[in-house]
Structure 1
Amino acid sequence: MARFISGRAVAVTFGVLALTLAGGGFAAAQATTAKPVAQTGQPGARPVASVGQPTVTPAEAAQAKAALREGVSPSFVAGSTSFAAVSSAGVLLRGRDSVSATRYGPGQYQVIFNHSLVRGGYVANIGDAADCCVPPTGEVSVAPRLGTPNGVFVQTVDSTGAPSDRPFHLAVFTP
C-alpha cells in the first residue's frame, strides 16, 4: 500500500503549526535577577490572581510514579497522541493514556498520564464536558507539571483574565 505522508512531513507540519500558533517570533536572552518565590510559577499573558503551580505533594508524586510503574498501556505508540477531556470540577471524563485529573483551585488543574511526557508537546482548548454543546468562553494555558515527568499543568481563565473553572480538552504529542 502506498504511503502518502511520511513521518517527517507530519513532524514538519506540527512544527510549523506550533510556530504559527506561538507567534513565530524570535526571543533574545536577557540577564534577569532572581524572582521572589511567589513570582516563579507559570507566566501568563495577563496578571492573574494565581501565582503559579501548586507544590506537588508527596501523595501526588507517589500517584504519578505509580502510573509510570504500572507501565504504558498497550494502546500507546511512540509518536502518538494521548488526550484527556476534563470537567470544570477536575474530573477526568475520558481520554487515552490519561490516568487522573486534579483541580487545585479556581482554574488550576493537573492531568497525569501513564507515560513520560518529557520532550512532548501540549495543546489544550476550552471544551464542553458533553459531546453536544458550545463551551464557555475563556482561555487555557498548558505547561509541564513541575516535578512530575508524566504530568501536565493546565490553567483556565475567563475572558477578562480572571482564574475561572472551565472544562478543557488536552492533547499531548510525544516523540
Structure 2
Amino acid sequence: MTRLLPAPLLSLSLWALWLLLNLSLSAGNLLLGAMLGLLAPIMFAPLRPLPVRIGKPWLAVRLFFLVGRDVLVSNLTVAWGVLRAGQRAPRSVFIKIPLDLHDAHGLAALAMICTVIPGTVWSELALDRSVLLMHVFDLDDEAQFIEHFKGTYERPLMEIFQ
C-alpha cells in the first residue's frame, strides 16, 4: 500500500489544492486532481530525505535555547555595531571553519542556525563537507569565534544526529 500511496496526506492535500485553485468540482478537475495527488508523491519519492534519527532529544532542546540566547545577543551586538559604525567600522571577514559534522540533517540544522543568528552568513560548504566558509559582520578574534561556533553548535549537532 505504501508503494501505491507513499504519502496519503500529501496526496489528499494536492488533490484539495488542485480543486481549490480551479474553483470547480467538475468531473475533469476531480480526475486531474486525483491523478496529481496520486502520481506526484510517487514520482518525487526518490527526492524525499532519509529518515531522521535524533540521538539525544534533550540536547536538541538545550541547543534551541542556546541559539535563542545567541540570537538576542547577536541582535544587540549588530545593532551596536551599526550605531557606532561612524567611530569604528565593523571588521567584516570571511572565515573558514573546519567541520567535523558530515551528516546531511546536522548540516541543514547548522545552516539554519547560521541563517537565524544576525551577523553571520553561511557562504559556502566544501564539496567534501570539511570546511564551511562563513561571513561574519564584526569579528575581533577568529580563533575564539571558531571555538565558540564548534563548541556551541557543531558538537551538539554531532551528538544529536550522528
> Would you say same fold, with TM above 0.5?
no
- TM-score normalised to structure 2 length: 0.30
TM superposition score normalised by structure 1: 0.29
Larger helix share, 1 or 2? 2
Bigger CA radius of gyration: 2
| Structure with higher strand content | 1
